[in-house]
Amino acid sequence: MTHEILPCSALILVDIQPDFMSGGPLACEQADAIVAPVQAILAQDRFAQYVATQDWHPAGHISFASTHDGGKPFDNIELYGHPQVLWPDHCVQGTTGAALHSAINWDRMNLILRKGTDAAVDSYSAFRENYNCAEQRPQTGLAGWLKERQVRNVYICGLARDVCVLWSAQDARAAGFNTYVIWDATAPVTGKTDDATRRRMQKQGIRILHSSEFCPAP
């Protein structure tokens, strides 16, 4: 059954960039497999607004393991009183790995939101940055931008399912949007997190859909 799109809806494509794809320094599991469903969803043109986010880190970003003496990728540290994963260097401003992925047609985008631009603050969510030294999570402005356009329903695809997609969905729901994650149009850093990710989404009222609910079978 095809999912009925409610009025005033937005599609958010999170961080679909080469550095998160196969061969990238922070490759997500089976990330290349999301390209086809994302393209199929875009081809339907069933949303009022289209948004893409783009990880856009300065060199020496605080989330990079290489920035910390002795730090190794995927180490966990405390930063500003909260857990922080140290990542391989990725999506450095101006590099080919930080570009929006060339296999996606980005022509429909009404907004491209760059995040993670502050060297001292990580940024997973499309809606809020991670905690900073003032124990705050600054807003990116996306929630206000969507509400000004009467968007009530947010549909999320992209990378990574267990990090930036999850945080974006949680923040969208907290901001009052009806929130949906198109599961097969996302991919995780590691599939070992899938059960926990699904439970967290469902517990918070985030609905999980499949791309087939948007794209009729040929």
Quick one: which of 144, 152, 154 has its CA closest to 182? 154
Distances (CA, A) of 202 to 26, 126, 166: 27, 19, 11
Q: In whole angstroms, give the CA distance from residue 193 to residue 195.
A: 6
Q: Is 15 a catalytic residue?
A: yes
Q: Is 164 a catalytic residue?
A: yes
Instruction: Sort 84 into a burial class: Cβ within 10 Å, 0-12 / 13-18 / 19+.
Output: middle
- Of 15, 19, 89, 171, which is the active-site residue? 15
Give the amino acid at 104.
I
Distances (CA, A) of 145 to 178, 214, 217: 16, 25, 34
Q: Is 107 a catalytic residue?
A: no
- Of 28, 55, 91, 115, which is the active-site residue? 115
- Of 157, 164, 171, 215, which is the active-site residue? 164
Q: Which residues are catalytic?
A: 15, 115, 164
